[in-house]
Amino acid sequence: MEFPIFRPVADHAVLVEFGEDITDDAHAHVLNLDRALSSAPFTGFKEAIPAFVNLLVDFDPLLTDHSTVETALRHLMRLPASEQSQSQHREVLVCYEDLFAKDLAAIAHHTGLSQEAVINAHLAGDYKIYMYGFAPGYAYMAGTPKSIQLARKPSPVRGIEAGSVIIAGAQCLVTTLTMPTGWWVLGRSPTRILTDNPHQPFLFDVGDHITFRRISLAEYEAAKAQ
C-alpha cells in the first residue's frame, strides 16, 4: 500500500493514514500535518484528531468537499515540516503494590518473567504520547518493551479504577476515570492528569516523552494526600 491514504470515513471527515504499523516515522507525519493544519487551516476546517498512525480531519461539507480537502492536505504535506514543537519530558509516579497491580501475576505468567522483571521492564520503557482518545484525559502512549507486550484480554473487565496504569501491546496509559478495560492492570499512579487549566485541561501534550518512577505504597498515599 502507498501511504498516505485518504479515506472518506464520513460525509464530514477524512482519515489520513500514514501507515498500518505503529512507527515513529508514521507518527511524525501525523504530528507534522496536525501542526501544519493548526497554523494554516483550510476553508471549512473544524478539527484534526491525531492518533498513532492516522489523522482524522473533520470539516463542514457544505463549505468544502473531500477532494478539495485532500488537495489542501497534500499541499500542506509538501511544505517543510515546522520546528518540532516543545515536546516535554514528564515523569509519572507508579505504585506496583499487589493492591493496585491486579494483573501483575497474570502478566508474569503469560510472559514467563518474574513479577519483579515485569516491573523493571515496564520502568525501562521509553514512552511517548501518541494520541488522546476513548475518554477525557486518556493519553495513549506507546513504548512498552516487547518482553511484556500482551494482546488485549478477550473481553473488557468492569470497574478498573481511575489512576490505573494499564498496558496492551506496545501501548500504555494512565486511566482518569473508573471504566471497563480489556488492557492489563500493572499499577496505580497518584500523578494528577486532569489539571484545572481550561487552556490545557490535561497534563500531557501529544508528542511528550514519559518515564515512570516507582514509588512505595506510603509514597503513593502521601502523593494522593497532597
Partner 1 sequence: MAIKVVSPGLSTTVQDLGRPGYYHIGIPLSGAMDRAAMAAANLLVGNEESAAGLEVVFMGPELEFMLPSVVAITGGEIPPKLNGTPCETWTSFAVKAGDVLSFDFLKAGARAYIAIAGGIDVPVVLGSRSTYTLGALGGHQGRKLQTGDILPVGSTPSKARAGRTLDQKLRRQSTSPAELRMLPGLYWHRVTEAAGKHFLSDTWKVAPEADRIGYRFRGGRPIEFMPRTPPFGAGSDPSNIVDACYPYGSIQIPSGTEPIVLHRDAVSGGGYFMVGAVISADMDLIAQLQPHMPARFVAVDMPTALAARKDMNAQAAAVRAVLQL
Binding track over 109-148 against partner 1, x by CB under 8 A: ----------------------xxxxxxxx-x-x------
- Contacting residue, 28, 76, 108, 177, with partner 1 by CB under 8 A: 177
Q: Give the interface segment with partner 1, choosing from 71-79, 96-104, 169-177, 216-224 (CB under 8 A).
A: 169-177
Nearer to partner 1, 95 or 121 (CB): 121
Pairing verdict, β 209-215 and 89-95:
parallel
Q: Compute the least distance from the CB of residue 170 to partner 1, in Å.
A: 5
At 87, phi and psi to the nearest 5?
A: -65, 135
Does position 106 interact with partner 1 (CB under 8 A)? The reply is no
Residue 90 has, within 13 A of its CA and on its CB side, a CA count of 20
DSSP state of 159: E
Q: How far is CA 122 from CA 93, 142, 153, 159, 169, in A?
A: 12, 12, 18, 23, 12
Beta bridge partners of residue 58, listed in sequence order: 13, 47
Q: Length of the chain, please?
A: 226
Nearer to partner 1, 113 or 168 (CB): 168
Nearer to partner 1, 66 or 224 (CB): 66
At 19, phi and psi to the nearest 5?
A: 165, 170
Nearer to partner 1, 12 or 209 (CB): 12
Does position 169 interact with partner 1 (CB under 8 A)? The reply is yes
Does position 48 interact with partner 1 (CB under 8 A)? The reply is yes
Name every residue whose Cβ is closer than 8 Å to that of residue 142 and which is 6 or more positions away in sequence.
Answer: 22, 52, 127, 128, 130, 170, 171, 172
- Contacting residue, 80, 112, 159, 198, with partner 1 by CB under 8 A: 198
Does position 208 interact with partner 1 (CB under 8 A)? The reply is no
- Contacting residue, 61, 111, 123, 224, with partner 1 by CB under 8 A: 61
Q: Find the DSSP H helices in 58-204.
A: 66-78, 104-111, 115-124
Q: List interacting residues with partner 1 (CB under 8 A).
A: 7-13, 15, 20-22, 46-54, 56, 58, 61-62, 65-66, 131-138, 140, 142, 151-152, 154, 168-171, 177, 182, 198, 201-202, 206
